[in-house]
């Protein structure tokens, strides 16, 4: 471990409040207001397609949902690589991009959907707008933790590896392919698994969305599960869950397990693992002469070209841009900036007028709701930490245990908690405080996996050399946890806790307001207010509640987690 002056990965978003935070919060508020205004001007009645609950439609619905998930994941990877690289490599961009990322991960996904859906519906055909909106919603449940993981990896690459890449004069492409991507491989793959689990969680919300008299539905597995849950059809719900579990098992065996085996070659350290990971599908691919030949023919020429190509025109492009800027181009940028600022100020004024129509009684409900939801988030995080840290360490350090539990965890994490919620309600509603207990359980199901997957990634990344050293020193179990495991995991735990907190706040929207068997159940909370306002088409209350949640999450990130961030920044870094 080494002290560093560089901000530690995603934890850098917890730095002191700056003017950039105010600009970002203002911009998010304006964007949400634009969506609300579009919703207020939308047609009074929109009817969605009928969702059939027969098992015969499941293959078609599953194919549609997988296509949306794959498109959202590809968009998330592209966004994460670009966004994280800009934030990690450019100090000026970092001052804007990190507070923007901080706020964006705290925006309730279900409040963000009307902005995207109604905005796209205004300029695109309705079918295309619905498909793109679903992809964007799934993207917002996948992108943030991938971006955090990539940014963390770039800012924590050991100094000797960076120096070696400079000595050998790696081009940017070669540095990305030979250093940055391999170093981030383990973290990116585990967070990709978490992103897919998060995508399944919000698939139901992205394929069935209703506000007021407007019904936006898409055929898919998520809409099938939601329709079955709303109808109380447990047989159809069982068929949908069976299709989902089968898909998850198949993806685990042919995608995630091979990727995890492949990524172990990039683990720091010189010592080999006692029990190396294995995958039957990865072994089959490795033994395929046809695939090996095809890969060599396709990737060989491109790899040699990208590695040997020199960025000859880079300096020329920079000089051309500088001359353009010096010869008057800066006035164009100033003009664009002034026009953008004027538009933001105007929309802010309009949003303030809309918020002025919210009664004081509703503001009181919002304030009390924020406190109630905050307590539920805190309880869910405490419960999650209590079991994810020991289990994550066991899975990350024990290959035999990981071989059995990893598929189980992948399946469990990917099952949408909203699909399980009717079963939970059947058991807990009759208990004292049943709905409160059910809300905490659903928030826990929507947040605990962020912690578990990050802990597993951190435990998996501990160099084998350090484990052997701890064994040679005959450290007791308690001392090993204190001097090796917990210090190595600390940054991953904080990262997981931050994203888990955001997941719990987002899950509160579906945890505190539930429709089941033709009845509506809700409890006090800001998530419940957002859901009620969305269902009733009360757009002023929707905007006020969403802004209150964003502000609460942002303040919690800056005030509660700052001490832990400073500890991670000053003491814990693998080097």
Distance CA 68, CA 78 (A): 16
pLDDT tens over the chain, length 575 residues: 443 333 333 444 444 455 555 555 666 666 666 655 655 554 443 455 677 888 888 888 888 899 999 999 999 999 999 988 888 887 777 777 776 776 677 666 665 666 676 667 667 777 787 888 888 888 887 888 888 788 878 877 877 888 888 888 888 888 888 888 888 888 888 888 888 877 877 777 678 766 555 666 788 888 888 788 777 788 888 888 888 888 888 888 888 888 888 887 777 665 555 556 677 777 777 776 666 666 666 665 555 555 555 444 444 444 454 555 455 555 665 677 677 677 777 777 777 877 888 888 888 999 999 999 999 999 999 999 999 999 989 888 887 787 778 778 877 776 666 666 666 777 777 777 777 888 888 888 878 888 898 898 888 878 777 888 888 888 888 888 888 888 888 878 887 888 788 778 877 887 888 766 667 778 888 888 888 887 777 878 888 888 888 888 878 777 776 667 667 666 766 65
| Nearest by Cα to 444 from 520, 521, 388 | 388
Query: Which residues on adjacent β-strands are paired with residue 217?
Result: 208
Distance CA 93, CA 561 (A): 23
| Nearest by Cα to 11 from 183, 181, 148, 186 | 148
Query: Does residue 68 contact residue 142 with C-beta atoms inside 8 Å?
Result: no
| SS3 state at 7 | coil
Measured in whole angstroms, the distance separating CA 562 from the mean position of its chain's CA atoms is 21
Q: Which residues of 383-409 are buried (b: 16+ CB within 10 A; e: fewer)?
A: bbbeebbeebbebbbebeebeebbbeb
Model confidence, pTM? 0.69
């Amino acid at each position: 471990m080494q002290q560093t002056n560089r901000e530690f990965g995603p934890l850098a978003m917890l730095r002191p409040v700056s003017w950039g935070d105010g600009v970002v919060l203002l911009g998010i508020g304006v964007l949400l207001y634009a969506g609300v205004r579009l919703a207020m001007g939308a047609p009074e009645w929109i009817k969605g397609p009928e969702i059939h609950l027969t098992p015969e439609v499941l293959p078609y619905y599953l194919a549609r949902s997988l296509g949306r998930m794959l498109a959202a994941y590809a968009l998330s990877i592209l966004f994460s690589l670009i966004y994280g690289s800009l934030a990690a490599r450019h100090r000026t961009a970092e001052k804007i991009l990190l507070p923007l990322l901080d706020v964006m991960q705290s925006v309730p996904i279900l409040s963000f959907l009307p902005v995207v859906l109604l905005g796209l519906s205004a300029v695109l055909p309705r079918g295309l707008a619905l498909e793109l909106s679903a992809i964007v919603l799934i993207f917002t449940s996948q992108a943030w933790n991938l971006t955090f993981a990539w940014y963390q990896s770039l800012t924590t690459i050991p100094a000797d590896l960076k120096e070696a890449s400079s000595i050998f004069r790696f081009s940017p492409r070669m540095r990305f392919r030979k250093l940055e991507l391999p170093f981030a491989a383990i973290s990116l793959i585990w967070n990709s698994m978490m992103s897919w689990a998060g995508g399944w969680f919000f698939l139901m919300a992205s394929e069935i969305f209703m506000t007021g008299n407007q019904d936006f539905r898409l055929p898919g597995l998520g809409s099938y599960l939601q329709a079955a849950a709303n109808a109380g059809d447990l047989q159809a719900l069982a068929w949908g869950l069976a299709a989902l579990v089968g898909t998850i098992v198949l993806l685990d065996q042919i995608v995630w397990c091979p990727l995890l085996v492949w990524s172990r070659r990039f683990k720091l350290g010189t010592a080999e693992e006692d029990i190396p990971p294995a995958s039957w599908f990865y072994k089959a691919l490795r033994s395929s002469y046809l695939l090996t030949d095809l890969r060599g023919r396709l990737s060989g020429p491109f790899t040699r070209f990208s590695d040997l190509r020199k960025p000859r025109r880079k300096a020329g492009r920079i000089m051309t841009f500088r001359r353009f800027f010096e010869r008057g181009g800066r006035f164009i940028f100033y003009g664009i900036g002034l026009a953008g600022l004027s538009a933001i100020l105007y929309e802010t004024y309009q949003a303030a007028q809309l918020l002025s129509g919210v009664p004081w009684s509703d503001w009181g409900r919002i304030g009390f709701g924020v406190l109630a939801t905050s307590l539920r988030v805190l309880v869910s995080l405490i419960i999650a930490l209590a079991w994810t840290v020991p289990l994550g360490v066991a899975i990350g350090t024990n290959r035999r245990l990981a071989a059995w539990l990893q598929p189980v965890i992948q399946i469990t994490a990917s099952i949408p908690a909203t699909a399980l919620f009717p079963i939970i309600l059947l058991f807990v509603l009759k208990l004292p405080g049943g709905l409160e207990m059910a809300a905490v359980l659903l928030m826990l199901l929507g947040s605990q996996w962020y912690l578990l997957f990050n802990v597993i990634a951190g435990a998996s990344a501990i160099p084998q050399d350090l484990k052997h050293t701890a064994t040679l020193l005959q450290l007791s179990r308690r001392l090993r946890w204190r001097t090796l495991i917990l210090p190595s995991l600390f940054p991953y735990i904080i990262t997981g806790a931050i994203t888990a907190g955001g997941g719990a706040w987002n899950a509160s929207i579906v945890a505190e307001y539930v429709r089941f068997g033709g009845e509506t159940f809700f409890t006090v909370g800001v998530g419940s207010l957002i859901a009620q306002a969305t269902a009733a088409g009360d757009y002023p209350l929707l905007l006020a509640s969403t802004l209150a949640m964003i502000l609460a999450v942002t303040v919690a990130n800056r005030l509660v987690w700052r001490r832990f961030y400073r500890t991670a920044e000053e003491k814990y870094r693998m080097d």
